[in-house]
A = this chain, B = another copy of it.
Amino acid sequence: MAGQGKDLQADAEEVVILAELFHQMADPTRLLLLMSMFYGEKCVCELAEKTDVSVSAVSHQLRSLRTARLVRSRKKGRHVFYMLDDDHVKDLVSKGLEHVRE
């Protein structure tokens, strides 16, 4: 063994929760969904159209995102509109894109 120094302080539970947050953004389809909601709410069928994934698959992924509190939804007539739950998600996506684009 060798080396020494501090590390980012966080308890095990926080790490698991944080991993789950990143996990939600780690799938191209879910990421595309999040990006589609970047500037405002979108209904399921519109999201399905944008991502070119079946409505069923999109619905499954949206549920996953909602359970993890990355998005929330609002019902209007027979449509359900989804939107990003808070600005942290926007920040993370922006920062990530920045990194990818170097």
Contacts and interface: CB of A to CB of B under 8 A. Distances in A.
B39 A3 contact: no
Contacts of A86: 99
* Chief secondary structure at chain A's binding surface: helix
Interface residues of A, number: 53
A71 to B, nearest CB: 14
Contact of A7 (B17, B36, B97): B36
Contact of A92 (B35, B92, B101): B92
Contacts of A17: 100
A96 B92 contact: yes
B100 A95 contact: no
Across the A-B interface, the 7 shortest Cβ-Cβ residue pairs: A88-B99, A23-B26, A8-B35, A8-B38, A22-B25, A22-B26, A26-B26
